[in-house]
Each structure stands twice: as structure tokens, then as C-alpha cells.
Amino acid sequence: MKLALFDLDNTLLAGDSDFEWAQFLISKGVLDREVHEAKNHEFYEHYKAGTLDIHAFLDFQLKPLARHPRPQLEAWHREYMATHIQPMITDKARALVREHQQTADKVAIITATNRFVTGPIAKKFGVEHLIATEVEEIDGQYTGRGTGIPCFKEHKITRLEMWLADLGLLWEDVTESWFYSDSLNDLPLLSRVTHPVAVDPDDTLEAHAKLNGWPIISLRG
């Protein structure tokens, strides 16, 4: 089986959907700017440096979901898609996804960002399979907590293997694999696939890609 995997933030998107969701809520007055904006930037810098505490971040990022009814959250998300996400989707990214959809048996987006934020984005790309950090729900309402294993760093491999198992497959069934990412945080999974590709990479990933002869591409513009 041929498998093509895409990171989302700063890879398929020319920006970070997680960071922009918090900024959107701040712009709407849903979150207090003074309290949340500095914290949002702080978490983002830790992510880029490879030092993010994923559990502390999820506590920060998911709590607002528990404070508002689902219809309101979904209405905000539609506005966020139009104002923040659509401008970050490039023709090059769409074309690369379509190319793999024509040649690979399975195409999936695999991202640390939670499913509430990323589900509609995956649909916008026409990608059926999404492996993301999961959000706990009780009776259709978000609790503000994550559930299961966060889809982050080496745990992306764990979540990928769990997804394959749900399809009745093992990693050994994957004969050829691609993974596109911008981030040093994805080095574990990049090192696992047969075709790792660095996309507009951070400095650490760029150096690693050059050292190992991995392709480096840009999807911007």
C-alpha cells in the first residue's frame, strides 16, 4: 500500500491553525486579549523550539470549547475558516494533495492540532482521513479536555499505527510512504517513512534534511 501523509500547520497551510484559532477568539472578544494573547505566543514559540508541553498547551487551547454551546462554536469556526484559514491555503498545497490522491492508496493529514479545529480544514482540502489530537465530548458538548494520546512528536507514529489498525492494516503493509512537514517536532515520523519531505522547514529540520539528503520544497505562493 502507498501512503501519503501531510502535516497541516505551516506545511499544507501557510500558517498555524491552532495559533490562529486562539487569535480569532481573542479578536471576537471571546478570550481576554491581555490574559490570552501573550500565552498563545509563548506556547507557539515553545512549539517552534521543540520544547512545547503538549498537555499544558491542550489545557489552554481546549478549555474555551467547554464554555460555549456547540452551535456557537461551529458558527465561529465557519467565520474563522473564511477569515483566517482560506487565505492560508495555497494553490501549490492543493495541487500536491491532488497529485497524491491520484497515485497513493491512502492520503491522510496527521496533525497535533485538535480535531475540532482541523476537521473542516481537512474537508476543505478534500482529504478523507484525519489523524489529530482528539477532544473529549459528553452528550455532544466538549468538556475542554483532550482524550487519548496527543498526536504529537513520537506519538504521531503511535497514532498512525492505531489508525492503520482501525483499517485492518499494519505498518508492514505500507510498501511506500511519504510525509511532508515543516517542523523539527516531526522528525520521528519523517525518519520512519520512505520519502520524507521538508516543506518550508524550520532551521533544525532544514539542517537535518540537508544532512540526510531529504528533498526540501516550498508550498508558499
Burial of 142 (C-beta count, 10 Å sphere; 0-12/13-18/19+): buried
Q: For residue 12, what is its C-alpha cell?
A: 499544507
Query: Distance between CA 120 and CA 126 in Å, rounded?
Result: 10
Q: What SS3 state is found at 195? A: strand
Helix then strand then coil, in percent of the chain rounded to 5, is 55, 20, 25
Q: Which residues pair with 133 in a beta bridge?
A: 114
Those residues whose C-beta lies under 8 Å from the C-beta of residue 6, and which sit 6 or more positions away, are 12, 97, 107, 108, 109, 110, 127, 179, 180, 181
Half-sphere exposure of 187 (CA within 13 A, CB side): 13
Locate cell 480535531: which residue?
Answer: 115
Rounded Cα distance between 99 and 61, Å, is: 33
Catalytic residues: 7, 9
